[in-house]
Structure 1
Amino acid sequence: MLAADATALGVPDTPEDRARYGYPAITGAGSAALPQAHLAAPADCGTHAITRAALGRPPAEMGHALTNDLLAALTRGDLLLADCGSADLELLSAIRAAGADVLWRAGPLPPLPESAALPERTVLPDGSCLCDLRCGPARPRTEVRVLDDPPHRLITTLVDHEAHPAPVLRALYRER
Structure 2
Amino acid sequence: MTGSAFSLGEELELRKVEYKLHRDLWNKFNFPNLDLAFGNWTKIKYLNATADALETDVENIPDDKGGLYMFYVKCEVISGITEYPLYIGRAQKTQTQNLKKRVKEYFQHFSKDNERPKITRMFKYWANDLHLAYITVDENDEIKDLEKHLINSLLLPMNTEIPDTEIKQAIKAFQ
TM-score range, shorter chain: under 0.3
Q: Which structure has greater strand proportion?
A: 1
TM-score, normalising length: structure 2: 0.22
Q: Which structure has greater helix proportion?
A: 2
